């Protein structure tokens, strides 16, 4: 059941492919229009970070299941420089775009589960899940 | 039916009513409704999506292109949803911070305020009431075997900086034990500390005095502080206790002058903050004479009762709306 589809991210067009992948999966799982759009936005944010800060990496999407709930899981991984101060990065208003509510805190707020693991010099992994209501 | 369904239903009704009559009333209802949506923290992209589903229901014959165009609009609106959610969380955070600051500031203040000492031969009354949570007035007593010193200060500034400033003053005073006996030197030293450490837009006025309980002499000096009163029992007369001197922290070179008063049986030293004299009533500012009249009317009572009565009276005159911090201290020689 847990089939994973992945997209390599190394340029801006790959961000679009990652979005497409996520949208298809979200639609299949039965997410409504708004949630589909939100999930793709979250994917965009994660993919754009990979493209901008790590150079390349990948976005994987899979169907998730937990205690009878069904949902969509985004796994973003890269072998880039990593994030030094995760706590700071997760603060509202820290992003370079500043105050648009986007960036990692925005993704976290939007998704139901959010996990970030980053090691300076070796890379970053972010796993975010949204459950169907 | 879930809350969400109820909202969509209500939205549909309001929209239908508007489409039928295009009345201002219907628009007004829409505006009212938006308040409710905001109250329930419904984000703008959700509203758009509700609107679209209602449209699908009301106009099933909409062209495919029109339908698709809403998907595009939705995508654009998602960003507003993100921004809205950030706004919500920042607002919650801000409220938390504000109340934390308030608690911290008033806690700190409680720690800094000294107890009123019991001194043989003196009857002391103190009333200090903040206008808001944080009191900008500060008083401090230090007692030893032959004297008691009193500082009354007004810190013009708010919140954390004022609270920090207050603790700086307390610790600076504690660290100047040699000057405790010489009010003018104490103010000069304190002035230097304040001048070096406090932001220029914060001011501190202070009256510092030392009561010699053996000799019954009161030595004092003032730094731009509201003058107190001295009640001379032998003449049954109140005098202003002027003390010339610049506000603390303005100039490093400021010198202060020491004054001396002989205190006889029944005499009273009255120290206050400008919150007492700048009480604003329906008839304008209270005059210093009126404060004197109030004290006179109650002065047969113990000192604590006098300050309480004066406060109650002034509070009543201001219709129970304190505009400035209030501090009134009375020392009365009783033996
Ligand atoms: N995959 C990553 N590898 C290394 N650093 C990253 C990665 N993702 C994020 N960062 C760091 O975390 C910071 C915050 O990221 P976030 O996406 O929240 O904001 P942003 O990219 O700066 O601005 P925005 O996304 O709002 O345009 C980035 O500026 C970057 O320094
Ligand atoms: Mg980013």
* Blockwise average pLDDT, block size 10, chain B, 335 residues: 83 94 94 92 91 92 94 93 90 89 78 85 92 82 92 82 82 85 94 86 90 96 95 96 92 94 97 82 78 95 96 87 87 94
In this structure, are residues A125 and A118 in contact, taking their beta carbons and an 8 Å threshold?
yes
Please name the residues in contact with B145: beta carbons below 8 A apart, sequence gap of 6 or more: none
Strands B122-129 and B326-333, bridge-based pairing: antiparallel
Number of domains in chain B: 2
Residue B302 located in a structural domain:
yes
- Tell me the CA–centroid distance for residue A98 and ligand 1, in Å: 11
Last residue of a domain, one of B31, B59, B93: B93
**Under 8 Å between Cβ of B269 and B90:** no
- CB-based contacts of B241: which residues, under 8 Å, 6+ apart? B220, B227, B228, B229, B230, B259, B261, B269, B270
Question: Are B81 and B139 part of one and the same domain?
Answer: no
A91 pLDDT band (50/70/90 cuts)? confident
Atom of ligand 1 nearest to the CA of A81: 4
A33: nearest CB among B71, B82, B84: B71
Question: B243 lies in a domain?
Answer: yes
Task: Please report the pLDDT score of residue A133 as a whole number.
Answer: 86
What pLDDT, on the 0 to 100 scale, is given for residue A2? 65
Quick one: pLDDT at residue B136?
A: 82
**B260 and B132 in a common domain:** yes
Query: How far away is chain B from the Cα of A87, in angstroms, using its nearest Cα?
Result: 16
Claim to verify: residue B151 and residue B61 sit in the same structural domain: no
Sign of CA pseudo-dihedral B146, B306, B229, B116: positive
Residue finishing a domain among B60, B93, B126: B93
Ligand 2 centre distance from Cα of residue A39 (Å): 15
Q: Does B97 touch chain A (CB under 8 A)?
A: no
The rounded distance, in Å, linking the Cα atoms of A47 and A25 is 17
Is B159 a domain residue?
Answer: yes
Q: How many residues does chain A have?
A: 133
- Taking the CA of A54 as reference, the closest ligand is 1
- CA gap A57, A77 in Å, rounded: 6
Residue in A41, A93, A105 nearest the CB of B78: A41
The CATH topology of domain A4-131 is Heat Shock Protein 90 (3.30.565)
Domain co-membership, B135 together with B76: no
Q: Coil, strand, or helix at residue B83?
A: helix
* Claim to verify: residue B141 and residue B288 sit in the same structural domain: yes
A80 C-beta closer than 6 A to ligand 1 = yes
- φ/ψ bin of B245: left (φ > 0), alpha (ψ from -120 to 50), beta (otherwise): left
Q: Is A27 on the interface with B (CB under 8 A)?
A: no
Parent domain of B76: 3-93
On whether the CB atoms of residues A41 and B82 are closer than 8 A, the answer is yes
B204 shares a domain with B75: no
The reply to whether B89 and B123 lie within a common domain is no
For residues A37-56, give the mean pLDDT: 95
Check CB contact of A79 with chain B, cutoff 8 Å. Answer: no
Residues B205 and B70 reside in one and the same domain: no
Nearest-Cα distance to chain B for A74, in Å, is: 18
C-alpha B149 chain-centroid distance: 26
Q: What angle do CA B28, B30, B34 make, to 5 degrees?
A: 120
Identify whether residues B133 and B218 lie together within a single domain.
Answer: yes
pLDDT number for residue B34: 94
**Tokens describing residue A88:** 């700071």
Q: Are strands A69-78 and A57-66 parallel, antiparallel or unpaired?
A: antiparallel
By alpha-carbon position, which residue is closest to atom 27 of ligand 1? A97
Same structural domain, B173 and B137: yes
d(CA A74, ligand 2 centre) in Å: 16
Cα–Cα distance for residue pair A98/A6, rounded to 1 Å: 30
What is the Cβ-side half-sphere exposure of residue B295, based on CA atoms within 13 angstroms?
31
Per-residue pLDDT at A14 exceeds 90 = yes
Q: Which residues of A touch B83 (CB under 8 A)?
A: 99-102
B235 and B186 part of one domain: yes
Considering only CB atoms, A101 lies closest to which of B75, B84, B93, namely B84
Q: Which of A89, A94, A120 for a ligand 1 pocket mutation test, highest count of atoms within 8 Å of Cβ? A: A89
Domain ranges in chain A are: 4-131
Q: Are residues B168 and B309 in the same domain?
A: yes
Classify burial at A130, counting beta carbons within 10 Å of its beta carbon; exposed 0-12, middle 13-18, buried 19 or more: buried
Q: What percent of chain A has pLDDT over 90?
A: 82
A98 has pLDDT over 80: no
Q: Is A23 in the pocket of ligand 1 (CB under 6 A)?
A: no
Q: What is the mean pLDDT of residues A50-76?
A: 96
ipTM over 0.90: no
Whether chain A has a CB inside 8 Å of the CB on B73: the answer is no
Helix ranges (DSSP H) in chain A: 12-29, 33-49, 86-89, 103-110
- 3-class SS at B54? helix
* Nearest-angstrom CA–CA distance, B112 and B134: 12
pLDDT in the model for residue B26: 94
Give the confidence band of A1 by pLDDT, cuts at 50, 70, 90: low
Closest residue in chain B to residue A91, using alpha carbons only: B90
């Amino acid at each position: 059941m847990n089939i994973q589809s992945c997209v390599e991210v190394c340029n801006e067009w790959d961000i679009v492919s990652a979005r497409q992948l996520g949208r298809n999966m979200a639609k299949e799982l039965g997410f409504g229009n708004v949630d589909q759009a939100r999930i793709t936005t979250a994917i965009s944010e994660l993919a754009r970070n990979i493209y901008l800060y790590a150079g390349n990496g990948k976005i994987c999407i899979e169907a998730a299941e937990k205690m009878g709930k069904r949902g969509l899981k985004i796994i973003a991984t890269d072998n880039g420089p990593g994030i030094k101060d995760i706590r700071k990065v997760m603060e509202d208003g820290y992003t370079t775009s500043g105050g648009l509510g986007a960036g990692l805190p925005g993704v976290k707020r939007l998704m139901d589960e959010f996990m970030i693991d980053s090691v300076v010099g070796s890379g970053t992994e972010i796993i975010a899940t949204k459950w169907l209501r | 039916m879930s809350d969400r369904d109820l909202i969509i239903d209500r939205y549909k009704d309001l929209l239908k009513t508007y489409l039928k009559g295009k009345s201002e009333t219907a628009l007004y209802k829409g505006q009212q409704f938006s308040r409710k949506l905001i109250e329930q923290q419904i984000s703008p992209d959700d509203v758009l999506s509700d609107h679209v589903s209602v449209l699908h229901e009301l106009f099933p014959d909409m062209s495919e292109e029109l339908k698709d165009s809403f998907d595009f609009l939705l995508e654009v609106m998602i960003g507003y949803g993100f921004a809205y959610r950030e706004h919500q969380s920042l607002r919650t955070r801000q409220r938390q911070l504000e109340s934390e600051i308030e608690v911290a500031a008033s806690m700190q203040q409680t720690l800094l305020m000294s107890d009123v000492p019991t001194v043989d031969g003196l009857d002391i009354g103190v009333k200090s009431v903040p206008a808001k949570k944080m009191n900008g007035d500060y008083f401090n007593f230090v007692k030893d075997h032959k004297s008691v010193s009193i500082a009354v200060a007004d810190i013009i500034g708010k919140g954390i900086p004022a609270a920090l400033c207050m603790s700086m003053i307390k610790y600076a005073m504690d660290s100047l034990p040699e000057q405790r006996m010489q009010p003018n030197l104490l103010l000069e030293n304190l002035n230097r500390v304040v001048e070096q450490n406090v932001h220029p837009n914060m001011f501190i006025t202070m009256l510092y005095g030392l009561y010699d309980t053996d000799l019954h002499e009161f030595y004092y000096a003032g730094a731009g502080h509201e003058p107190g009163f001295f009640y001379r029992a032998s003449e049954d007369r109140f005098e202003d206790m002027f003390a010339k001197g610049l506000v603390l922290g303005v100039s490093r070179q400021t010198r202060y002058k020491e004054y001396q008063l002989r205190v006889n049986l029944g005499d009273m030293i009255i120290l206050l903050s400008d919150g007492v004299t700048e009480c604003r009533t329906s008839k304008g500012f209270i005059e210093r004479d009126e404060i004197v009249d109030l004290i006179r009317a109650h002065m047969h009572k113990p000192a604590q009762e006098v300050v309480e009565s004066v406060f109650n009276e002034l509070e009543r005159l201001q219709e129970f709306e304190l505009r400035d911090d209030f501090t009134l201290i009375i020392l009365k020689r009783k033996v």
